[in-house]
Structure 1
């Protein structure tokens, strides 16, 4: 069915502050299947919860969760990854990871801190003097922890109008902050927490200035290669690599609308544009949240948390904000990770502090506190149960 640009703004997005489109219909659950050469037995209770989730009226057509323990991965899935073909979600499906992309910018920036190319207390004024003078005292640390006070470019009316009229519009990703260049800081830097997509755009620009290299090249050098991420990329366009997990807008009583390729990635870039598979996402979060990429000295700074600073959407348990990473304190223990949501996708990637175990949890519809608060509460409860399964065994 045709999409009306005016309907693209009814649900909030963490990566672009846009909306997916119309849709809504639940699909029957499919039996979970293990993938990989060595997998532990499935937990029937966890599988039942996923089956019930895809059976919820405004729930996702499909869900896939990967539990990895000491190199062995257990795959849980329910529902449908592509309504047209009827196939289930798969661990090697490409998908938009939304604001989990912010953790990748953290991985780049913190490694540059380790190398002496950047300092956590380095300011926008020192690295990016072309940006508004009112922002010059904001530090890299504050950008990474969302205490900068930078207004969110994705909430700017002009940005929204452009994307509403042409969802495939190709933005100059390095000029996204121009949309808010005439706006003051929302608060004194460091005085409080407020999640903003602008923060990680500035982080990427600082990394580029410090190295003279494109952010995409830094990702390949500092993140993809050392963690062996072969199915991870930061595209500029709206097309997804094959095979991909189809994302849907689910708004009953309308049928689900496939919004997988509705919005281009250039308008989210370092704040939400990365594409990966569930398997690659798990490998990333184990490396980033564990000890593989960052020195102990820098990691100590990264893991200085602000209680109550939640990712978007909030992850399981009590949330606290570190530097481009969040602490999720569940009833069974602590995980480090990040979440995200985007038209057609909702993501959680989390790891134990030692990086030996991870959980990725993917829905192929967008769920946030603004568009589906009751469903989000249900999702967070299920995620906590998966976290407990990860931590207990």
Structure 2
């Protein structure tokens, strides 16, 4: 689930022909996995499945981490992190994690709820003024994507403003204003609609309750206790080193460009964060098992409601797809998947340095489906919905 706006060309725009040529992954035998204890046959099958998706979808670089206690692990980096220098993709690189940010934002909110500082069924109007029908929309409905608020990312004016300058900085209030131009889509609670507007509001609720900037709250309440030393909530367009370059076709004219340093403030509480493989490995289990929450609050979080996608339900800032619990993410140039399968105590993390779809499907979903099809065919990852 992700948002795919169009964007203005970067100042480092390459020609379509040049970048397409650079993005083509050579059809060669895959190198051995960086680490694998799953046995030669299973490792070879994973190598083959991943290589096929990478070739077909023209993914420049990717990292796959799979950990299955009692069975083994598989950590694989392949392709390039930079199509110009041909720097190889490695498993220590930072990437932008897009909508996985939602799991961090909602975790902070749920901590405040369990402390009695807010209630999930409180109306959002109690904390943020000016929300259309805010007296009836609850914090729970915002977190489970059932508020009915018009998604700001679907507003034509928002598109226009992004098209004019991908380096533009946005405030949360500016983002919400785009959505408020439109009537609500449906009454609160009626159905599921994935919308970044909901998370922008929850970010403002957290700031209201704590009196502190959201990035500081998430650092203190979530990142530090979880031991995530390589996860960042940025307040500007910087990305730590070492990092993969990101490639997108979300440009004014559809050309492919390097989007590594585009400003992520348009996504804020819904999608601005940065992380790496090992931190996301730790986070997958932490968020799925509720290590930072009490049992009651975690049970509220994991109450999954239908999304309209077969086999996939959405809880409070988290999904269940084929039994895999977690979230995926996409920002121009990057895609990720971070999920945990309780029945196997298994963790799967996927990092890509492109968000360019293949036959209308997200490349990260194609990789996740290929991996789970090999190792957990009875628990097939099935998220393929675009967040817009």
TM-score tier (shorter):
0.7 to 0.9
Contact 1:345–1:365 (CA<8 Å) still a contact in 2? yes
Query: How many pairs are equivalent?
Result: 362
Q: Are 2:341 and 1:327 aligned?
A: no
The residue that corresponds to 2:335 in the other structure is: 346
The residue that corresponds to 1:87 in the other structure is: 87
Q: 2:375 and 2:225 mapped to 1: Cα distance?
A: 26
Deviation at 1:326, TM superposition (A): 0.4
Deviation at 1:169, TM superposition (A): 0.5
Quick one: structure 1 residues 132 and 308, their matched pair in 2 at CA, closer, same or farther if it must change by over 3 Å?
Answer: closer
In the superposition, the TM-score normalised over structure 2's length comes to 0.84
Contact 1:134–1:184 (CA<8 Å) still a contact in 2? no
Written as runs of structure 1 = structure 2, the 5 A alignment for 1:43-192 is 43-56=43-56, 58-70=57-69, 74-128=74-128, 130-192=129-191
Partner of 1:75: helix, strand, or coil? Answer: strand
Q: 2:374 and 2:94 mapped to 1: Cα distance?
A: 22
Quick one: structure 1 residues 220 and 309, their matched pair in 2 at CA, closer, same or farther if it must change by over 3 Å?
Answer: farther
Q: Structure 2: any 5+ residue segments left out of the alignment?
A: 10-15, 381-388
Deviation at 1:138, TM superposition (A): 0.7
The residue that corresponds to 1:6 in the other structure is: none
Deviation at 1:135, TM superposition (A): 2.8
Q: 1:292 and 1:377 mapped to 2: Cα distance?
A: 26
Deviation at 1:133, TM superposition (A): 4.5
The residue that corresponds to 2:25 in the other structure is: 27
Deviation at 1:389, TM superposition (A): 8.1
The residue that corresponds to 1:313 in the other structure is: none
Quick one: structure 1 residues 120 and 357, their matched pair in 2 at CA, closer, same or farther if it must change by over 3 Å?
Answer: same
Q: Structure 1: any 5+ residue segments left out of the alignment?
A: 1-12, 311-316
Quick one: structure 1 residues 386 and 201, their matched pair in 2 at CA, closer, same or farther if it must change by over 3 Å?
Answer: farther
Quick one: structure 1 residues 141 and 157, their matched pair in 2 at CA, closer, same or farther if it must change by over 3 Å?
Answer: same
Contact 2:123–2:137 (CA<8 Å) still a contact in 1? yes
In terms of mean alpha carbon deviation, does 290-299 or 185-194 score higher?
Answer: 290-299
The residue that corresponds to 1:366 in the other structure is: 355
The residue that corresponds to 2:311 in the other structure is: 318
Deviation at 1:265, TM superposition (A): 1.1
Q: 2:180 and 2:200 mapped to 1: Cα distance?
A: 13
Q: 1:188 and 1:214 mapped to 2: Cα distance?
A: 31
Q: 1:156 and 1:84 mapped to 2: Cα distance?
A: 35
The residue that corresponds to 1:14 in the other structure is: 2
The residue that corresponds to 2:207 in the other structure is: 208
Calculate the aligned-residue CA RMSD, in Å. 2.9
Q: 2:337 and 2:214 mapped to 1: Cα distance?
A: 23
Contact 1:20–1:259 (CA<8 Å) still a contact in 2? no
Q: 2:159 and 2:218 mapped to 1: Cα distance?
A: 28
